Amino acid sequence: MIARGAGPFVFGPLAAMLPFAALALLLRDPRWSYASIPLGLAFLFSLVFFRDPYREKGAGIVSPADGRVLAADADRGRLVVFMGVLNVHVNRAPLDARVASVVHTRGGHAPAYAERAARNERVETVFETRLGRVTMTQVAGVFARRIVPYVRRGDAVRKGQRIGMIRFGSRVELVLPPGVRFTVQAGDRVRAGETTVAEVVDAPRP
């Protein structure tokens, strides 16, 4: 499956490649096909990058992103996941919630793994959950110039539901309320919607 909104990036190179391939066949001149090689490689790269595979929903609070854990700070309830170019870039809801707000902030494009990336272009989504308020921030990186949210204020989302994507390398930060315990640590590999990143230790009072 191709990520929502990624069609032009995937099929654009393919459409541009076809005329060259057709000329090579019609004129029986392989030199025309040489021009299609970079476009073919761009198509294959985009097909892999914008993939959106099916995921089995994990237990507890699940990762919002594929990639490598940069930080799992229990004191601050903060999880940071870095998404490399080869990771799936579709982000998912960490648990059942209602979207309280979606705010886009312009900023720089420092490397997504660096601490100064906190000042990068970002989209902050606040969820109201049974545990309290959960904040997810999608942060653009050096090559990521577009964050595409799939949800808006007032939407109800289910755990593991696709809620947006970031194009070309980035990071996602998750801030959880008190009463949860991280089950991952820095360096761990996680998968969006599938890997359990935290468990509830103290159930919220009614």
Instruction: Tell me the catalytic residues.
Output: 170
Would you give the DSSP letter of residue 6?
-
Beta strand 122-129 with 97-105: parallel, antiparallel or unpaired? antiparallel
Which of 94, 93, 68 has the alpha carbon at shortest distance from 81?
Answer: 68
Distance (Å, rounded) from C-alpha 172 to C-alpha 164?
Answer: 11
At residue 112, the 3 state secondary structure works out as: coil
Q: How far apart are CA 71 and CA 20, in angstroms?
A: 48
Report d(CA 85, CA 164) in Å as an integer: 16
d(CA 122, CA 140): 6
